[in-house]
Amino acid sequence: MELLLIDMPRLVQQVIFNSILLVTALLFSIKAKEIYRNIKMGKAEDRSDQPQQRLKNMTLLALGQKKMFRNMIPAVFHLCIYVAFLVTQIELIEIILDGMTGIHRIFWPMLGGFYTFIISFIELLSVFALVATIVFLSRRNLLKVPRFQMDEMSGWPKLDGNIILYVELFLVFCIFTMNTADMVLHNGEYGFLVSGMLMPLFSGFSEGTLHFLERFGWWGHIVAVFAFLIYIPFSKHLHIVLAFPNAYFGALDGGANKGEMANMPRITEEIKLMMDPSLPMPEEDPNAAPARFGAKDVEDLSWKSLLDAYTCTECGRCTDACPANQTGKLLSPRKIMMATRDRLEEKGREVAKNGPEHDDGKALIHDYISAEEVKACTTCNACVEECPVSINPVNIILELRRYLILEEANSPEEWNLMFGNVETNGAVWKLPASDRMKWIDEMNE
């Protein structure tokens, strides 16, 4: 093991590395704090029950990728990248310690042959990740899988989906450049599997060139990782972080999984008073603003719906499964989540700049999501079932639709007829209760 602290060029590199590390941590934390603040703009909702079941769901869905395997081929390739991402953090820890301390391959003297096994395993996973990355780039840009070519995926979303794949290619290139050059410099002493096979490609280079290539791979890898950390909060790849809390706070077995719409306390109280006028009137704050029915903007949604928006992977499985979308309707559950996130980002900036009382004249409904989209939903929950990270677009759609109906009286005539039947007959059919069961008598005749 070579101590590098007395080597001035390496000392300069340490200073540069630690400065970059500090700036990266600062920028990431600033954006993370902003995202947390935006999510807290949503309405309170208790998701703290059954912690053991929630931990189980998080383990299966976020860590175990359970839902991904409903579509086997892309799931296998995604697993290659996912496992490589997890395991390569071991090598990333060593690179960070190398940069902080100036000690080259700090774990090598301590672990010996086990170190060789770990790095060889990481290299093998990197090869699988390289193949998977090429496959995913091909699916997006050559095969043009339909769910990646929809209107909401044009422009930045398409570029965003490709950026991480290009970064992955660069990271793999840097890893093998660093390890192979280091192997040649040390006469294959480390015994790494894949880079050992690549040594003949570097064998004709001078020692100075090999040092340059090793440093290029080292710096290229770590700078790309730091750049990705800064970039993640602005990207759909934030799901790498948020998939875990989102799966933990996801709906457990019960009504929310089946599209059950939560009652509004104010309406429940009014109905109870209508049914029993003897009940005491609820106390109200005379200075409080009137409660809004449904959701007009992002602050009217629950914090979990806002967390859903930030967690969306834009994979399009929800839209692929949506019967309304398949029949040509304007609705795309993925677009609902993307629009909610875009509005939340804009609203968050406005609140930070001008305060929570500022009104920019925009709203989630109409400005970001049209009434036509909201009305097209059949509440079948196909999108909820398909989402690999427990996102529920139906909750957002129902709240927006509730606002359209109760606040704007904006509903189709067919719905109004149904509402009238429910109000007068207690059912969606235009029949009195006494006549609705006559078919049973007719069947028995």
Q: pLDDT tens digits, the chain, 445 residues: what are they?
A: 444 433 447 778 888 999 999 999 999 999 999 999 999 999 999 998 899 999 999 999 888 888 888 888 888 999 999 999 889 888 899 999 999 988 889 999 999 899 999 999 999 999 999 999 999 999 999 999 999 999 999 999 999 999 999 999 999 999 999 999 999 999 999 999 999 999 999 988 999 999 999 999 999 999 999 999 999 999 999 999 999 999 999 888 644 455 677 777 777 877 787 777 787 877 776 666 677 889 999 999 999 999 999 999 999 999 999 999 999 999 999 999 999 999 999 999 999 999 888 889 999 999 999 999 999 999 999 999 999 888 999 999 999 999 999 999 999 888 888 888 887 877 887 777 677 777 777 777 6
Whole-model pTM: value is: 0.88
Alpha-carbon distance of 118 to 111, in angstroms, equals: 10
* Assigned domain for 400 exists: yes
Whether residue 219 sits in one domain with residue 179: yes
Name residue 302's beta-bridge partners: 43
The CATH number covering residue 415 comes to 1.10.1060
Q: Which domain holds residue 179?
A: 8-39+71-248
Whether residue 265 sits in one domain with residue 182: no
pLDDT in tens, 198-210: 999 998 899 999 9
* Assigned domain for 1 exists: no
| Number of domains the chain contains | 2
Whether residue 260 sits in one domain with residue 243: no
Give the DSSP per-residue string, 405-420. HHHH----HHHHHHHH
pLDDT in tens, 180-196: 999 999 999 999 999 99
Do 290 and 336 touch, CB atoms closer than 8 A?
no
* Assigned domain for 424 exists: yes
Closest residue by Cα to residue 121 from 170, 186, 179, 185: 179
Whether residue 270 sits in one domain with residue 180: no
Whether residue 218 sits in one domain with residue 157: yes
Whether residue 354 sits in one domain with residue 232: no
Name residue 43's beta-bridge partners: 302
pLDDT in tens, 90-128: 889 999 999 998 888 999 999 989 999 999 999 999 999
